[in-house]
Chains A and B, each alone.
Chain A
Amino acid sequence: MTATTSAGATLAGMEALDPEDVELARALDDVRRAVLIASSAGVTEVDGLLTYLPALAGKGIRPRLTLLAAAVAAPEVSAPVSVAAGIELMHLGTLHHDDVVDEADVRRGQPTVAARWGARAAVFTGTYLLARGTELVGEAGDKAGRAAAACIAELWRGQTQELVSAFRVDRRANEYLRVIEQKTGALFGLAALVGGLAVSTPPQVGGLLECFGRTYGMAFQLADDLADLSSSSGLLGKPTCADVRAGVYTLPVISALADGGVAGARLRKLIGTPEIPPGDPDEIRELVHDAGGVNCGRRALRGLLDGAHAELERVPQTWATSRLHLLAEDLARVT
């Protein structure tokens, strides 16, 4: 767990510890407990399976976003723990499906559910957690229930677009951006929106929070994709160049492919079809770097983060708003 977030880093460093930070850490603990309780179905034979991934500690970025969004909108109202737990459960649910689709054997340092119990069990566990999460998010009201349904649709559209465009070297930057908005941005947007809805924030502030969540989510994904191609990786516990090998061409690769120089030409020869051996990961990484792909990705990340900060300027300025700024800026540090 190297990528700690602002509040976590503050706690670890025992620096200026605001009472709000302590409150937030406590609420996040409550969220973790709520997630565990909701993920158990009370059926002994299968509860071990259902709570397996929820019991492994994750970063909890999405529920943090929900709690901070609620605190931006209504600092005095108690934290919407159950709704934040719903967001985390939805996320955990999609991870199960992702692990089947990506053939991933390890997550959070442990064998995945798919690796331990089989793909079918992983899928039903994922759907279970997604459904439980959706139900809890729906507690924030009719609008939240509808937004959750729309979010699930977007997640699918993003995932599927990525799936059917695997190994396609004619993918464009704007297609990539749309995909990451759908597959990652949508749930971050929902996390922030329902945080606001849970404390009855006015629609306008809710909309701004959702926009921030979305942009931040896109930045989060792009940072993740950059890490896959940067030599300083290992951060996300994935082998490097995993995306390229799986035929998923992210923004750095897309812009490197468009490069007119030697590196771009060599890269175009190396990738583009599952039939061709993907080559040495180090070479691909270097080519993407030399063809300007990584720099281009970093510029785009900076642009997204600037956008996220700008969106925060338009919501009430509270302690939580400052924490959201820090949370976003944390991503710039990662790459």
Chain B
Amino acid sequence: MSPDVVAVVVGGGPAGSAAAAVLARHGRCVLLLDRSSFPRDKACGDGITYASMRQLARLGVTQQLDTYQPVSRTRLSFTSGPEFTRTNPDLSGRVVPRELLDALLIDRARALGAVVAPSHRVIGLLQDGGRAVGVRYVTGTTPGEVTGRFVVAADGATSVLARQAGLARASDRTAFAVRAYVDGIRGLGDEFRVVVPLVDPESGRTLAGYGWIFPVSADRANIGVGFLRTRPEEHEVNLRTVFRRFIASLDTPGTFVVGPLRGAPLPCDFDPDRCTRDGLLLVGDAARLVDPLSGEGIDVALESGALAGEMIHRALAADRDDVPGYGRELQRRFGRRIAAAWSLVENHEFVWGVVSSTVGVDRPLYRGVRRAVRTYDGEESTVPPESDPLGHWLWSQQLLGEVRATQQAVCEEVSSELPLLAGAVRELRDEPAEQVRIASLLVCAGALSRGPWRRTDALRLAVASELACLALAAHEDVMDHLPLGTREADRFAVSAGDFLLFRAYELAAQTGGWVVQAMSRASADVCVGTLLGQLEGPTPDRAQRLTRAAALTTGTLYSLPWRLGGHLAGSEEDAVERMADIGRALGVAWHSAHRSDGATSTGAVREDVESLYRLLGEEPGDRQLRTFLGVALDQTLTEHREAVGRGCDVASGPRRQRPP
């Protein structure tokens, strides 16, 4: 063993191989030790997700995977019947038995120049004055030592190195999974199949976990179950029993299990403050980096391993003995996803109730719920529109950044307290309408300001009034006539709307009691309008009733930002009322524009909005408002043309999201 080894990597799983490969590619002298000789079997679902494929591509090993079973979608099946499929057209996952994957990865590290020492069992950390300087190992019966400037602990869930460095601690935040290979399964598609709920046959309890069927080949599958113990009484659950019940529930005669049922712990208690210490870096399972909801650890292992390698390389280049910010960087990359997953797991009974009782409901809130479960790992992102008239004008007025920051702030407000809500809100939002309302408030508060422009208050109140809009939108998805016992959906809708409403009030209160009152008046009006619009049965004055309802709902929601902006600008009471009227008229116009049932012509919408100009005077502030209104009109007409073009009736809710 060479004395100028700069990094000793312990463990040849994905995390260790990734770290060794990255260091070797940088020309660093790296030694990788593992207690086994490769190939060796390892209990795992063998699912290489799209995220893992991306990491593998960076290491240059995707080509070697071409011969393995490709997977183009994930199918989530409820044992009660309904199913959802998420297809990734641009990406393909694979199912690769770990016996082969890990061997491929270690070969890759070797090919890049890492020295691999199989059959070397590491038994301890060498320390010098508290600093990790190497490891002690046994090969055969021969003990030995090796030193290096850095040590990477990729030695898994039961990491000896983490324990000796004092980074490990007792925790029950570990999931357990078992799997077996099963032959003779018919109808295996090119998909990851996930089955919920996972029920313990002995206690009848729904567990925080799932069963899986991943195709290894046309007729062989990796089948397993895994769950996280979240309640004390679940310590009695026998995973083998759960597995047997799961296999039986699949009802696939003629199949047989090949090889043993094998299990593995999945450590999920990642802690950014316990990932590194004086020359030692933990990666993968040793850093407890497993997603507690999906149990997925490979992509995180690969990424954390590569990150550790990269940071060690940089430290060496700067002739430093430490890797400042490693834990922080892990937290930045994985913290949000892991926290979101924990929120779903901790409240899994509630989450389960909501998701399963709304599987067939095609309303924005429940589409959002499904999205929240599907994409808690934050894979989806939306690109805000840039080319529309309003966006362009806001940009020219240097307001676009603030409008977008406000929209971002709305999203962040909803991300914390109620599981599922952040994802649900994405479907409730109508971004173009949001932009118009936020801009209304900022323009009114700024353009008319007689004193210094109260930017902080204006931004905060813009967030508050958007939250109030979302609250009412969420409550619109409360459903009538649900059968008893399946009303978790309503519970969630009520709770989601109430949360959004009180956050709106809380923010309002930070500016003053008067905003709370203005907000109360507005939400009372919207409620009356909504009730008026939802009256059942045909009444002779239906059209007139719906017009009144629209003025009270959309009209009020557009009026509120004008009112608040006018107040913030210090305008006189009657001026504020005039502003509120303009806002209301703009809302009514917007509402009309979204009717594409032939009831509204483009000319009529233009007339609606143009009538607003007459409300404006000749003051300088009014002139800026006039320009803004012109732009808002353009935007409204653009929306109108789009709505007509789609030919579908969107009159029921101007807040509905445009299809992608």
Q: Give chain A's interface residues, CB within 8 Å of chain B.
A: 41, 43, 45-46, 49-50, 97, 100-101, 103, 118-121, 123-125, 127-128, 131-132, 134-135, 138, 141-146, 148-150, 152-153, 155-157, 159-160, 163-164, 166-170, 268, 272-273, 275-276
Contacts and interface: CB of A to CB of B under 8 A. Distances in A.
Contacts of A153: 502-503, 505-506
Interface of B is mostly: helix
A149 B516 contact: yes
Nearest to A142: B513
A128 B513 contact: no
Contact of A169 (B231, B419, B519, B531): B231
Nearest to A136: B520
B517 A120 contact: no
A94 to B, nearest CB: 9
A275 B204 CA distance: 6
A142 B495 contact: no
B97 to A, nearest CB: 36
Contacts of B490: 100-101, 119
Interface in B295-330: none
Contacts of B349: 164, 166-168
Contacts of B527: 124-125, 127-128, 131
B532 interface: yes
Contacts of B516: 134, 138, 145-146, 148-149
B422 to A, nearest CB: 15
B350 interface: yes
Contacts of A141: 513
Contact of A135 (B203, B418, B521, B532): B521
A144 B516 CA distance: 10
Contacts of A135: 517, 520-521, 524
B350 A166 contact: yes
A123 B475 contact: yes
A297 to B, nearest CB: 23
A132 B516 CA distance: 11
A-B pairs with the 10 shortest C-beta distances?
A145-B513, A118-B480, A142-B513, A128-B527, A149-B505, A149-B509, A135-B520, A131-B524, A145-B516, A146-B509
A93 B203 CA distance: 39
B231 A120 contact: no
B499 interface: yes
A143 B490 CA distance: 33
B524 A128 contact: yes
Contacts of A273: 203-206
A157 B417 CA distance: 9
B652 interface: no
Interface residues of B, number: 58
B517 A145 contact: yes
Given A124-B530, A145-B512, A157-B417, 10 more contacts: A50-B531, A120-B475, A120-B476, A127-B524, A128-B523, A131-B521, A131-B524, A134-B520, A160-B499, A170-B233
Interface in B318-363: 347, 349-350
Interface of A is mostly: helix
B282 interface: no
Contacts of B417: 157, 160
B349 to A, nearest CB: 6
B482 interface: yes
Interface of B: 199, 203-206, 231-233, 347, 349-350, 417-419, 471-472, 475-476, 478-482, 484, 487, 490-491, 493-495, 497-499, 501-503, 505-506, 508-509, 512-514, 516-517, 519-521, 523-524, 527-528, 530-532, 534-535, 545
A123 B524 CA distance: 12
A166 to B, nearest CB: 7
B509 A41 contact: no
Nearest to B475: A123
Nearest to A133: B520
A49 B479 CA distance: 18
A121 B505 contact: no
A295 B503 CA distance: 39
- Which of B471, B482, B495, B520 has most chain A Cβ within 10 Å? B520
- Which of B479, B491, B508 has most chain A Cβ within 10 Å? B491
B365 to A, nearest CB: 12
B279 to A, nearest CB: 41
Nearest to A124: B527
9 contacts: A120-B478, A120-B480, A120-B534, A121-B480, A131-B520, A145-B512, A152-B505, A160-B495, A168-B231
Contact of B513 (A103, A138, A159, A163): A138
Contacts of A131: 519-521, 523-524, 527
Given A131-B523, A156-B495, A169-B231, A125 B531 contact: yes
Nearest to A38: B524
Contact of B528 (A46, A164, A167): A46
A294 B356 CA distance: 36
Contacts of A97: 494, 498
A103 B357 CA distance: 15
Given A101-B495, A138-B513, A273-B206, A119 B524 contact: no
Given A46-B531, A145-B517, A101 B491 contact: yes
Contacts of A49: 531
Contact of B514 (A118, A119, A142, A143): A142
A145 B514 contact: yes
A163 B350 contact: yes
